[in-house]
Amino acid sequence: MNTQNTSLTEYTVWDRSVRIFHWVNVVSILCLIAIGVAILNAKALGVSTDGKVLLKTWHVYFGYIFVINLAWRLVWAFIGSEFARWKNILPLGSDYKKQMGHFLAARKENRPAYFLGHNPLARIMVLFLFLLLTTQAVTGLVLAGTDVYMPPFGSAMAEWVSEDKTRADEIKPYSKVNVNEASYKEMRAFRKPFISTHETVFYVLLLAIILHVLGVVYAELKEGNGIVSAMFTGKKVFPEKPMDLD
């Protein structure tokens, strides 16, 4: 931790959109994880069929919040403020190489390296997290259709498995009424790679979240720029000009 008695200057880094995205993302993911764990263990927990449908339906409601929030963040990376943009998020470009060199040299000499945006290691983590979250969003939206016939693909899935296509809207989760057995099997085979990806990415994401939190704590102890409070206030503090500031 930087314990020197130096004067600190405050710089604005995260705009309001980034901060709102971050906390909506945290809360929606915690809810998705909690309900996801219950879905995974439904049998062991003795959850009834109606209970499973309810769990999946609520998982999908939180999923919609998560997807809309994520989609907005991906757009904001094109139009948002300086440090919300791709060029300051992705681990790419000549600036990035320079910053990584500076960062590694500082770590080697056990001195702090000051960055207003993400440090070079955090940028790799952010890219990894966005990839995992986007995969969960896409696979989740498909599963919302195949499992509980909810939008955006629920109607198409119901039509696929229905015996009488004109009554596809009567198809209910876990019910065999108006369901063609062969088409249902086809649909479940189509669903397989989506559910296995959704489940695998869930475990990888748990690990990535733990690494992300440990990284934040480590950076805060090493540099002491107030990076946790910065996700509330948008501001970090520095004893000298951060190297990624023009």
Tokens of 212: 């992300």
Contacts of ligand HEM in 66-105 (CB under 6 A): 66-67
| Binding of residue 34 to ligand HEM (CB under 6 A) | no
Q: Which residue is nearest to ligand HEM (CB)?
A: 140
Structure tokens at 237: 């503090």
Residue 154 binds ligand HEM, judged by CB under 6 A: no
CA gap 230, 223 in Å, rounded: 13
- Listed ranges 56-64, 85-93, 214-222, 233-241: which one lies at the site for ligand HEM (CB under 6 A): 56-64
Least Å distance between CB 32 and ligand HEM?
A: 4
- Contact in structure between 187 and 209 (CB atoms under 8 Å): no
Smallest separation, CB 238 to ligand HEM (Å): 33
Instruction: Quote the least distance from Cβ 219 to ligand HEM, whole Å.
Output: 23
Q: Beta 235-238 vs 9-12: how paired, if at all?
A: antiparallel
Give the integer Cα–Cα distance in Å for 207 and 87: 26
C-alpha–C-alpha distance, residues 14 and 134, integer Å: 22
DSSP state of 173: T
Judged by CB under 6 A, does residue 141 bind ligand HEM?
yes
- Are the beta carbons of 156 and 145 closer than 8 angstroms? yes
Determine the size of the site formed for ligand HEM (CB under 6 A): 27
Return the residue of 26, 30, 34, 40 that touches ligand HEM, per CB under 6 A: 40
Distance of alpha carbon 141 from alpha carbon 145, whole angstroms: 7
Site string for ligand HEM, 182-221 (x = CB under 6 A): -------------x--xx--x--x----------------
Question: What is the C-alpha to C-alpha distance for residues 132 and 194, in angstroms, rounded to an integer?
Answer: 14
**Residues at the interface with ligand HEM (CB under 6 A):** 29, 32-33, 36, 39-40, 56, 59-60, 63-64, 66-67, 133, 136-137, 140-141, 143-144, 147-148, 195, 198-199, 202, 205
